[in-house]
Structure 1
Amino acid sequence: VDTTEGFLSLSSRNLLPITHVCIEEGEKPMVLLPYMNWGNLKLFLRQCKLVEANNPQAISQQDLVHMAIQIACGMSYLARREVIHKDLAARNCVIDDALQVKITDNALSRDLFPMDYHCLGDNENRPVRWMALESLVNNEFSSASDVWAFGVTLWELMTLGQTPYVDIDPFEMAAYLKDGYRIAQPINCPDELFAVMACCWALDPEERPKFQQLVQCLTEFHAALGAYV
């Protein structure tokens, strides 16, 4: 099952629900989604990075981890329902002014963020920098490949919306990953949090954590952060 069909029948506080679908003969279908007043998460993070220069407290590490927990919760729900997202990234999440994050499957992402998608010669634009090795090489997708993408999304959170693997040629990504290379630990990212990301990028899908494990691990880390504040 993919999210095109799946989101119609799904209900979770961390998924953006489709409220209405309008289908008219001869017209493109229209989908109505709830309004999230701070909008796209990737754009929100980048705005925070701009503000951070003047106000280092604009967004706290605890806030970012809380966002990660919400995304992991939404993905855990999808995994239990055997729904594979295939394009999890900050650009496919939305956020409101209470820092509530919801996962969506934004068909406009390819238009809004064209640099995040690349065609590797097969006439299909894919989010190469977010994809697990088995997805890149064998076109295999699973909850485990979604976990890989979650690790990259967590990296996006901690870098306030930077682009992963920005210096790597998309055509070289598979070889780069196969050789064991990964994106570097973000500045000011605690070792424990980077270790969570690294677990998501295990070459063997079976060795990656499940989303429920990620929820638990991040929740414990969030509580530890709170203890020091």
Structure 2
Amino acid sequence: MESHGHNPANMAGSYIRFSPVSDLKPPDLRTQISEISIERSRLTLADVIQEGTFGKIYHGVLLGEGADMEVENDVFVKTVTEQASESQVNLFITESCMMLGLSFPSIQTIRSMCMDNERQPLAVFPYASNGLLKKFLHKCKIPGEGQGTQSKLSTQELVHMGIQIIRGVQYLHKKKIIHKDLATRNCVVGQDLNVKITEKALSRDLFPNDYHCLGDNENRPVKWLAIESLIDKRFSPASDVWAFGVLLWELMTLGQQPYPDVDPFEMAQYLREGYRLSQPINCPDELFAVMACCWALCPDDRPKFTQLLQCLQDFYAHLGRYI
């Protein structure tokens, strides 16, 4: 991360920008998709895990091929509905392939794509037994007395999730990819609380309350965006740091909505005036201090992910001494 230099705002241009399929040279994406393309007969769709107006996520089963034809693998299958427009289909394909070719323990990469029906392509991802992190956090709430809900997860377990996510973002940044939409809705959880960062395909549709259109006809995760991303649409490793701070707040609140009482149109002014998310109940001061650092107005004043990793690892070890 240090190699990124000291002015994240000026470096954003050196990072990959993902644009709709129609804007890409046809061979680029077509070649990539052809390499992971599978026949529809190998894929069985089971229960719908989540659906929106234009998209669905299924629990599916993928049959092996060749000598492994009898092998059945649980998978997630993302697809669009018949209501999706051509531009939505293109965006779905592009965003589904955002992590294509990457390999890292805390990154979930597309496994295959079925294009038998080009209006409703099927994007296949490795299965994660506990599903989307945001939904999982909601399930971990226990009704408590007095102070409201309590957590099935320990602070140490939540911090460990944060550590895995930092490592995944560091890997993306090494590959010159800025995620631009780090949030619990774009992570999945497997066994043993293994967390992976995913692409953002369908998120706008499946989590409509997390995205807002500020009169520019573009749905954006307004309440996760760094101020320079919100105002000037500038993205850098430092804007991912800001979003990570909000994600850490989501972890400690078990998936609450950030700034529930702030009008999306007033977010920029709210942040300019110095207001930020408040310390969650039961969140240790040291952990809240880490979050607060991520929300410095100037990108240069925010910690690097290497520093955040060190802080969380130290805090994790500290918690371990008291168990």
> Which band: TM-score by shorter chain?
over 0.9
- The corresponding residue for 1:48 is 140
TM (norm. structure 1) is: 0.94
Among 183, 192, 206, the residue aligned to 2:277: 183
The reply to whether residue 33 of structure 1 matches residue 125 of structure 2 is yes
Whether the 8 Å CA contact 1:89–1:152 is kept in 2: the answer is yes
Whether the 8 Å CA contact 2:100–2:109 is kept in 1: the answer is yes
3-state SS, counterpart of residue 152 of structure 2? coil
Distance 1:159 1:26 in 2: 40
3-state SS, counterpart of residue 155 of structure 1? helix
Deviation at 1:201, TM superposition (A): 0.5
3-state SS, counterpart of residue 145 of structure 1? helix
- The corresponding residue for 2:109 is 17
3-state SS, counterpart of residue 110 of structure 2? coil
Distance 2:252 2:152 in 1: 14
- Alignment root-mean-square deviation, CA: 1.7
Deviation at 1:25, TM superposition (A): 7.3
User: Cα deviations across residues 32-67 of structure 1 (Å, max 9, x unaligned)?
Assistant: 100101101001101111x35499562111000000
Give the partner amino acid of 1:167.
D
Give the partner amino acid of 2:236.
S
Deviation at 1:216, TM superposition (A): 1.4
Among 255, 280, 295, the residue aligned to 1:161: 255
Larger radius of gyration between Structure 1 and Structure 2: 2
- The corresponding residue for 1:202 is 296
**Of 107-116 and 143-152, the range deviating more from structure 2:** 107-116
Whether the 8 Å CA contact 1:2–1:85 is kept in 2: the answer is no
Residues 30-179 of structure 1: matches in 2 within 5 Å? 30-49=122-141, 51=142, 53=144, 58-179=152-273
- Alignment length, in residue pairs? 228
4+ residue segments displaced more than 6 Å: none
Deviation at 1:97, TM superposition (A): 2.7
Structure number with the higher strand fraction is 2
Distance 1:172 1:30 in 2: 38
Deviation at 1:24, TM superposition (A): 4.6
Whether the 8 Å CA contact 2:151–2:254 is kept in 1: the answer is no
3-state SS, counterpart of residue 15 of structure 1? coil
Whether the 8 Å CA contact 1:14–1:102 is kept in 2: the answer is yes
- The corresponding residue for 1:193 is 287
Label 1:175 to 1:23 Cα distance change in 2 as closer, same or farther (>3 A). Answer: same
Whether the 8 Å CA contact 1:6–1:83 is kept in 2: the answer is no
3-state SS, counterpart of residue 8 of structure 1? coil
Give the partner amino acid of 1:76.
Q
Distance 2:254 2:228 in 1: 27
Which structure is higher in RCO with an 8 Å CA cutoff and minimum separation 6? 1
Label 1:179 to 1:56 Cα distance change in 2 as closer, same or farther (>3 A). Answer: closer
Among 189, 213, 223, the residue aligned to 2:307: 213
Distance 1:80 1:57 in 2: 34
Identity of paired residues, percent? 60
Label 1:38 to 1:77 Cα distance change in 2 as closer, same or farther (>3 A). Answer: same
Deviation at 1:21, TM superposition (A): 2.4
TM (norm. structure 2) is: 0.67
3-state SS, counterpart of residue 154 of structure 1? helix
Distance 1:25 1:116 in 2: 30
Distance 1:167 1:148 in 2: 20
Structure number with the higher helix fraction is 1
- Runs of at least 5 residues in structure 1 that lack an aligned partner in the other structure: none
3-state SS, counterpart of residue 7 of structure 1? coil
